Structure 1
Amino acid sequence: MKLKDKVAIVTGASKGIGKSIAIRYAEEGATVVLASRSEDLLASIASRIQDSGGRALALTVDVRRPESLEAVVRKTASEFGRLDIMINNAGISMVHPSEDLKPEDWQRALETDLFGVFYGCQSAARQMLSQASGGCIINISSMYGIIAAPMRAAYCASKAGANMLTKLLACEWAAKNIRVNAIAPGYIRTELVQGIIDKGMLPVGAIQKRTPQGRIGEVDDLLGIAVLLASDESSFMTGAVIPVDGGWSAYGYL
């Protein structure tokens, strides 16, 4: 129960990494606010947490709109009295040749993967600054914010921006008792990724060969660090961007 009595918001909580973090946080004793655009999926996850004896609230959010995130934070503080942990996880992928990338697709990726992260950090910090206890913000980034990959101009640029934003805000808010860190996953077997694998659209063999640990990551591989960064055990840790990619971003040989 490393997060006992803490209150956490998780965006993009209807599936994949966000869903798993939310469930794990509830298991660790946190009250969890599940936020995404998929209201039906959120309600199902909230019910699962509540049936297991945890506390959960499902709220819809559009992270591209700062007022939407502000409303989620206000509702959380009104309902539970404070906000201890903010997980900015909502994001989209974007794979397209750069010379043909439409301005509206470039804009959509940045609005979700970078602007949405900033709005989430900003909204959470406004609440955390009013609390003597401060708080913890964790941004879910990507190894493709650390290294480049072809046909991912918008995605790589957004995630690299989110990584630098993490460091900047960590420095700015450290003296105010707010910690800001990021997790940068590699290829993780979410429901979406598994669906792409099943359709033969992802070169699993090549990815496994390129990854020093020789496999695609599982969502469970991210949960330990997600709990650590949210807990008091990492109280002297801020401004870190932590790859969880099986060694992908460290490897530069053949």
Structure 2
Amino acid sequence: MPSFTLEGDVALVTGAASGIGRAIAIGIAEQGGRVGLVDLVGADFSSVIAEVESAGGRALAVEADVTSPDDMAEAVARIERDLGDLSLAVNAAGIANASPAEDMPLAQWQKVYDIDVTGVFLSCQAEGRAMLAHGRGSIVNIASMSGTIVNRGLNQVHYNSAKAAVQHLSKSLAIEWATRGVRVNSVSPGYTATPMNLRPEMVDHMAVFASETPMQRVAEPHEIAGPTVFLLSGAASFVTGTDLLVDGGFCAW
């Protein structure tokens, strides 16, 4: 069997201070990887650093804005200086909100696209430059099942289309870099118990989401980490350009 270990690898994870990004960073450390934790200025990295270190890993916190090409280039450079050559990356930074399409201000549309699409591209661009120079690497972009289906009861034309763009961006980069040693895939989570979804105003929505999922529950963040670590690892050495749905069966209805 091929190895699922990430021993000796150096990873960059955006959105690493909370939610799915945090769980993935810990999962990488548990498999032996060193992790550069990237999140916004002022983010609280303390708990994720503690968990990475308790798993026997090494973490480096880097404040950066994924919509800034200079920030992402510097984040990659700093991680490589402190941890070693970058070989893995997970781009989990993102935002979500809702508004009827006919009333949505341009600024609301643009902010979601700036972070959820352009931010993923700029992250991949900075990470890819380093990986292509080394001749190896694996990138996983966190999309959403909302890029495949439209969620009942949520007016999110901007978010849904942005996540579909992430899926196809990942496929396009995968083909462009396929012969140069860099794999690119995406993971599309279903409903997940992240801090964003555990706000008081989301309680009723999450109960409905759980009831509409075949497994009759939502995912825990660590359940997204496992499939992501698989795609990063040598066990997925012939996997590139795929979108992996991790949705408790939701899209099979």
TM norm structure 1: 0.92
* Secondary structure of 1:95 counterpart: coil
Which 5+ residue runs of structure 2 have no aligned equivalent?
none
CA displacement at 1:65 relative to structure 2: 1.1
Give yes or no for contact 2:29–2:55 (8 Å, CA) kept in 1: no
Cα distance in 1 for partners of 2:202, 2:133 equals: 50
Unmatched 5+ stretches in structure 1? none
Query: Which residue matches 1:3?
Result: 6
What is the percent sequence identity of the aligned residues?
Answer: 37
The match for 1:113 is 116
Is it true that 1:152 corresponds to 2:121 in the alignment? no
Change (3 A) 1:234 1:90: same
Residues 91-126 of structure 1 show CA distances to partners (whole Å, capped at 9, x for unaligned) of 000211111111111100000000001001111110
1:137 is aligned to 139
**Are residues 1:174 and 2:178 paired?**
yes
Aligned mates of 1:86, 1:200 — CA distance in 2: 30
2:98 equivalent to 1:95: yes
Q: TM-score, normalised by structure 2?
A: 0.93
Question: How many pairs does the alignment contain?
Answer: 248
The answer on whether the counterparts of 1:39 and 1:58 sit within 8 Å (CA) in structure 2 is no
Determine which structure has greater relative contact order: mean sequence separation of CA pairs < 8 Å that are 6+ residues apart, divided by chain length: 2
Tell me, in whole angstroms, the C-alpha distance in 2 between the residues paired with 1:167 and 1:192: 27
Write the deviation string for residues 141-160 of structure 1: whole angstroms up to 9, x where unpaired: 00001112341011011101
The answer to whether the aligner puts 1:161 opposite 2:153 as a matched pair is no
- The answer to whether the 8 Å contact 1:35/1:42 transfers is no
Task: Name the amino acid aligned to 2:98.
Answer: V
Q: Which residue, out of 202, 207, 211, partners 1:209?
A: 211
Aligned to 1:68: 71
Report whether the alignment pairs 1:238 with 2:240.
yes
For 1:47 and 1:207, how far apart are their aligned partners in 2? 32
* Residue of structure 2 equivalent to 1:22: 25
Structural mapping, 1:49-64, within 5 Å: 49-64=52-67
Farther-moved stretch of structure 1 (201-210 vs 179-188): 201-210
Q: Please give the alpha-carbon distance, in whole angstroms, between the structure 2 residues aligned to 1:98 and 1:250.
A: 27
174-183 vs 185-194, which moves further: 185-194
